[in-house]
Amino acid sequence: MTTILATFFLALLLGLILIPLAGRFGRAVGAVDRPGGRREHDGIIPRTGGLAIFVAVALSLLAAWVWGTDVSRLIIPDRSLLGLLAGAVIALGLGLYDDLFRLNAWKKLPVQILAASAAYAGGIALDKFALFGVVVFFDPVTSYLLTVFWFLLFMNALNLMDGMDGLAGGIVFFASLVMIVLAIPREDYLTALFFAALAGAVLGFLRSNFHPATIFLGDAGTYFLGYAIAGFGLITSVKTHVGAAILIPVLAMGLPLLDTLLATLRRFTQGRHIFQPDTDHIHHRLLRMGLDTRKAVLILYALTAALCILAIVLVQLRDERSGLLLILIGAGAFLFAGRLGYMETLRLRCIPGWGENILRRKSDLAPGQGTVLTALLQKLEASQNLATLHQEIKAASRAFGFEGRLIVPDVAAEPGAGSRGGKHAFSGAVSDSDPGRNAGHNCLQLRIPLLDERGSLLGTLALVKAPQNRSMTGSSLADAELLRRSAATALKRLAADRKRPTHF
């Protein structure tokens, strides 16, 4: 126990010392985040905190090994440890390169697979699963695919969740604590030692990362921490031979994993690339509900702590009660997503509008009907200037039962119009009137922001529908989504034609 505590405090001290040095390094090499687009911060912030965490973890574990206590002697540089270390270095290197030069998702994916493969080659594999007395063994190919998926899931889930000061680091800290608490009673001191080093380094980082942050994890940090949680968690499940053990890191990292699931479903139902970034993650929705950054992060900390407690309870259960607890946790996740509005979004886009959103652009829904809708939307997207786009939006909106207008801010008259001020892509354009101003109280009124790939505002689509107006499909919000998509496509193309920046 003394070795574990000493390793924790050494990693904490190293984290506090190395974080400022990492910040200077980030500024020197240009690994920084600048305000604007989807960024919520002000000023230029280095994104090299993950590098300091990695060094702090490595040095604290090395010091423990050199110390030579009964616990630290469990650190044996065998095949599994070397494989995990190699994969961690690959994940860190990939993230650091991405922080410097920015890679797209498809270029990062093969390297992430290589990092996961290094752990698999070291013998760290998801080769069986046991729960409720049922044991399932996986053949080598299935085991490899599941292992790679496991590592990729944790790495990218934490990366997606890293959108607010202190959020991703705090989640990893709580997850590490629960792994320590569960490892010590089992006398699995090696796992406890690993997570003690991780928890200490992350806590040292959080001192500079909590709002207002002076340094960020960066992709290097999220990839390394996600990889470490996945790898150490998998080692724990292999050693314990308890099926529920594999669920411990899943529950401890429940918020990032839930956010990843919701992001995938959301982007798929919107017809967008699943790797395309947006501003509709769990933390973004909390901010839109009126919470400030600190309150939103503290709420997510509380939820993570609750999930960690449930993970501890789950391990103590040995019968059908564990299955009931899993059902309750799933129901709680469903209710939480519903409270944030995700279930309504998915319901409106998937159930009544599924055929319309996915198939309407490719085939006719009824004789002549789909052809008319498709032609109107294609004509809208092909608009050659803003004046034509205004007219095409009016015409297409009427076909869907709306009164529609495109509102483009005139920044000459309204300085700072847009999401964060600065120049607008259509500076000086004449805005059309907003149909919602004279609408009755019983009308459906929608104001939909039209964004570019960076999340910057191009304009607003204002739609009004009276109760008696019915579209040809009967799904108003699905129709509005199609109009939004086509209008945004046209605006992005027009902005590119002007050869002027579409972000702030």
**384-388 mean pLDDT:** 87
User: Predicted confidence band at 183 (pLDDT cuts at 50, 70, 90)?
Assistant: confident
Distances in Å between the Cα of 409 and the Cα atoms of 188, 445, 463, 495 are 61, 19, 17, 14
- What distance in Å separates the CA atoms of residue 389 and residue 398, rounded to the nearest whole number? 14
Q: What does the pLDDT read at residue 359?
A: 39
Q: What does the pLDDT read at residue 110?
A: 94
Are 224 and 95 spatial neighbours (Cβ–Cβ below 8 Å)?
Answer: yes
- 237-274 b/e (C-beta count within 10 Å ≥ 16 → b): bbebebbbbbbbbbbbbbbbbbbbebbebbbebbeeee
- pLDDT higher than 80, residue 122: yes
Q: What does the pLDDT read at residue 285?
A: 80
Q: What does the pLDDT read at residue 434?
A: 54
- pLDDT higher than 90, residue 123: no
Q: Give residue-wise pLDDT tens across range 154-179.
A: 999 999 888 788 899 999 999 999 88
- What percent of the chain is predicted at pLDDT more than 90? 29
Burial class (CB in 10 A: 0-12, 13-18, 19+), 137: exposed
The verdict on whether omega for the bond into residue 467 sits within 30 degrees of 0, i.e. cis, is no
Q: What does the pLDDT read at residue 30?
A: 87
Distances in Å between the Cα of 170 and the Cα atoms of 166, 177, 217 are 6, 11, 11
Are 257 and 251 spatial neighbours (Cβ–Cβ below 8 Å)?
Answer: no
**207-236 mean pLDDT:** 89
Q: What does the pLDDT read at residue 119?
A: 93
Domains of the chain plus CATH, in order, are: 2-252+290-331 (no CATH), 354-497 (3.30.450)
**Tokens matching residue 47:** 């994104």
- What distance in Å separates the CA atoms of residue 32 and residue 50, rounded to the nearest whole number? 13
95-99, 147-151, 264-268, 295-299: which range is least confident on average? 264-268
Residue among 322, 116, 378, 319 at smallest CA distance from 227: 116
Q: What does the pLDDT read at residue 22?
A: 93
- pLDDT higher than 50, residue 419: no
Q: What does the pLDDT read at residue 371?
A: 55
Q: What does the pLDDT read at residue 118?
A: 95
Q: Give residue-wise pLDDT tens across range 351-383.
A: 444 444 443 433 434 444 445 677 788 888 888
Residue among 352, 381, 350 at smallest CA distance from 485: 381
